[in-house]
Amino acid sequence: MNDTTSVVADIPAHVPPELVCEDYPFIMGAQTSQHPFKSMVPALHDGPDLIYSTNFYPGFQPAWIPRRFETLQALYMDTEHFSSEAFSPFPLLIGESWSLVPVEIDPPAHSTYRTLLNPLFTPARMRALEDRVREAARDTIAKFKDNDECEFMSAFALRFPIIVFLDLMGLPRERMEQFLEWEFMLLHSLDIEDVAKGTRLSVDYLREVIEDRRKNPGDDLVSFAVTATVEGRKLNDNELIGLCFNLFIGGLDTVSTNISWQIRHLAEHPEDQRRLRTDPSLIPAAVEEMYRRYAAVTTFRTCVKQTSLHGITIMPGDKIAMPTTLANTDPGAWDRPFEVDFDRAPRHITFAYGVHRCIGAPLARRESVMAIEELLRAIPEFRVAEGEELVTELGPILQPKNLPLVWGGRDTRREAATAKPQTAEAPHVEGQRIGASIGEVTAFLAAKLASMEPFGKVIAMHLDDHQIVLDGTANPPALVDATETQPDVTVRASLKDFVAILNKDMNAQLAMVKGKIKVRGDIMSVMALTKLL
């Protein structure tokens, strides 16, 4: 049985074969040197209104992907058939059960948390923060403005939002490098165990902060959370962690991503940059249009009650992607959707829609506006440095990995960096190697399992026409007969590719990204598999 046939055999019966997509481009961990908004996004709009990706959901699991603006609006409002609960993997990875508050809470409980948090993000409160946000932007720009160049991601896009976040949370700025490291582990590492480690470090730190604020409350967001009451009671420990962790990841990654795409646009479109320099009053409108054109975030829903989309049956348990990237460029909803028009005044859904509209949107908007205002004020016309490849990290968040800028009389940076998209191939490792026979693979796996701790999953591996079943619930784990137990995880790969992974000629995580290994299970299944490989 070849690999393509194996994959088709794993598709649920209610999924029409013609809608199955094995090469959806925005898979977590993939990278590209293409401009995704100029090439990949328009190409996706040439396809059906709804597709079924075999590996887009976290953990390389399947998900439905709608592309129409009106479909996403309807999905945001349909809480009868679709739930927001547990779409993020973070609690599961560390064996905990809290939810991101309020984004993973369904109505009617959602409105309770929303009412609690609304006063934090009122227009009046945002205006009161403007001096602090503007000062953070100026302080960050001051470190590179006289250099005639910068790598914008590391110099500004990743740092400025963290300063704002740290101040709002009442956390020390001197820990910025630590937060940057954790943020990378949480949201950009290909290693599932690394993601789990970043989650554990962040959660443990936030618990320390929460405990401190209980004893020493101040005027920061954590103090607000620990002293607030909901329906006559204080928030419990899970609610506090879910709220603080949500603020943590929301305040760091999405803001830096949005600002970096906006600045890249201005660097690549000097006429737009000059227009804003001539009339800075246009910046808020320009920011709204760039939020529409460069919407970079996809969240997820889970079907909880059978329904249909575009005439296709959606079953309970099916995952549904919410790609604002596609909805905001839907040719059926927008005139000239792929053009940036500062006069458009779009009603986009970059910050979601309905009850789950992003509560931090007013702050994010101010951060974007002030960043652009201060950058245009501090440095002359900037452009992308020549001779450097721009790489974008793909996944549920489309984030530039690098953005080299120059200004003044420079065309190139003094020390140009070499950025390349990652490939699945790994450097050759010397040592004992496994031959390309099923017997040698089976012997290797048996020996490896005997030295491992239980990992809690039964894995059925299909390597070409061969099947191997690994019982990770036993102590020690062991190979078992295929008829002895029901697998939790199904893994499909060619024997050749699997041997390359065992010999470290191919990176296991990138092999999953590239579809060379296809896993059916959940995020913990991927963790179990990576421990094995």
3-state secondary structure 271-284: HHHHHHHHCHHHHH
DSSP labels, 302-315: EE-S-EEETTEEE-
pLDDT digits (tens, 9 = 90+) for 30-61: 899 999 999 999 999 998 999 999 989 988 88
CA distance 322 to 128: 33
Confidence (pLDDT) at 58: 85
Topology adopted by domain 90-295+345-407: Cytochrome p450 (1.10.630)
Lowest mean pLDDT among 140-144, 190-194, 204-208: 190-194
Lowest mean pLDDT among 212-226, 318-332, 430-444, 470-484: 430-444
Q: DSSP E strands: which ranges in 90-218? A: 149-151
H or E stretch covering 52: strand 50-57
pLDDT for 362-417, tens place per residue? 999 999 999 999 999 999 999 999 999 999 999 999 999 999 999 999 999 988 77
C-beta atoms surrounding 486 within 10 Å: 8
What Cα–Cα distance (Å) separates residue 355 from each residue in 103, 251, 351, 384, 482?
10, 20, 11, 39, 47
Take residue 501 and report the two structure tokens written for it: 């992974």
CA distances from 216 to 9, 225, 227 (A): 58, 13, 11
Q: In this predicted model, what pLDDT tens digit does every residue of 425-469 receive, in sequence order?
A: 545 445 578 888 999 999 999 999 999 988 888 999 999 999 999
Residue 8 confidence (pLDDT): 42
For the chain, the average pLDDT equals 91
pLDDT score of 5 more than 50? no
E strand or H helix at 114: helix 109-117
Mean pLDDT along residues 117-132: 86
Q: What is the pLDDT of residues 274-327, one digit of tens each?
A: 999 999 999 999 999 999 999 999 999 999 999 999 999 999 999 999 999 999
Between 155 and 423, the higher pLDDT residue: 155
User: Per the structure block, which two tokens stand in for 526?
Assistant: 């991927």
Contacts of 435 (CB under 8 A, 6+ apart): 499
pLDDT at 428: 45
Q: What is the pTM of this model?
A: 0.90
- Taking the C-alpha atoms of residue 319 and residue 355, their distance in angstroms, rounded to an integer, is 20
Instruction: Give residue 2's pLDDT.
Output: 39
Lateral strand order in the sheet of 404-407: 149-151, 404-407, 382-384
| Distances 96 to 196, 299, 398 between C-alpha atoms, Å | 11, 21, 28
SS3 assignment, position 517: strand
Residues with Cβ within 8 Å of residue 115, at least 6 apart in sequence: none
Choose between 521 and 235: higher pLDDT.
Answer: 235
What one-character DSSP code corresponds to residue 273?
H
- Looking at the DSSP bridge assignments, the partners of residue 313 are 308
Q: Cite the beta strand spans of 207-323 per DSSP E.
A: 229-230, 233-234, 298-303, 307-309, 312-314, 319-323
Tokens standing for 433? 């190697």
* 176 neighbors 158 (Cβ within 8 angstroms): no
What are the domain boundaries of the chain?
Answer: 90-295+345-407, 438-532
Mean pLDDT on 216-228: 93
Q: What share of the chain is helix, strand, coil (3-state, %, to 5)?
A: 45, 15, 40
pLDDT (mean) for 96-102: 93
Q: Tell me, what's the pLDDT at 397?
A: 93
β-pairing, 233-234 with 229-230? Answer: antiparallel
What is the rounded distance in angstroms from the CA atom of residue 173 to the CA atom of residue 217? 19
Tokens of 58: 């976290």
Give the 3-state secondary structure of residue 526: helix
Output the CA angle 169-175-180, nearest 5 degrees.
Answer: 90
CA–CA gap between residue 434 and residue 500 (Å, rounded): 9
Radius of gyration of the chain (CA): 24
Q: Is the pLDDT of residue 511 over 90?
A: no
With a pLDDT cut of 70, the percent of the chain lying above it is: 96
215 to 51, 218, 228: CA distances (angstroms): 51, 10, 14
**Which pLDDT score is estimated for 394?**
94
Q: How far apart are the first and last CA of the chain?
A: 23
Full strand arrangement of the beta sheet holding 50-57 = 20-21, 50-57, 61-66, 319-323, 298-303, 82-83
Reported as type and span, the H/E element at residue 64 is strand 61-66
Instruction: Tell me which architecture the domain covering 438-532 has in CATH.
Output: 2-Layer Sandwich (3.30)
